[in-house]
Homo-oligomer: A and B are copies of this chain.
Amino acid sequence: MSYLTLADLKEIEPVAGFKARFVHADHMTLAYWNVAAGAALPQHAHVHEQIANVIEGEFELTIAGETRVLKPGQVAVIPSNVPHSGKALTKCVLIDAFYPVREDYKRAAS
């Protein structure tokens, strides 16, 4: 068991304007993003399934060609290997949940 303070965790910026900290359990990773207004995430896909949450701001998400603008209270479920991309229409705070663990982010933030 562990109690963590996000501000104490190493922050990385895997894509320009997308800064993140990560919390890992045995099977899941949660990513806590602070995104600059206008920052864009190129289309990508990963084996990890993902549940994407907008906590603050407006984030334009495109999943398998379908685009929506997400605000707080709206959630996207991205299945394994489905291509997606995004753009922060404003400064955003996002929380993404991934299964299984994002070993790539774990390594990058270690």
Contact = CB atoms under 8 A, between A and B. Distances in A.
A73 B26 CA distance: 21
Given A55-B55, A95-B95, A74 B26 contact: no
Interface residues of A, number: 38
Interface string A21-39: 0011111101000000000
Nearest to A97: B97
Contact of A78 (B1, B70, B100): B1
Interface string A56-96: 00000101101010100111111110100000000000010
Contacts of A50: 25
Interface of A: 1-7, 23-28, 30, 49-51, 53, 55, 61, 63-64, 66, 68, 70, 73-80, 82, 95, 97, 99-100
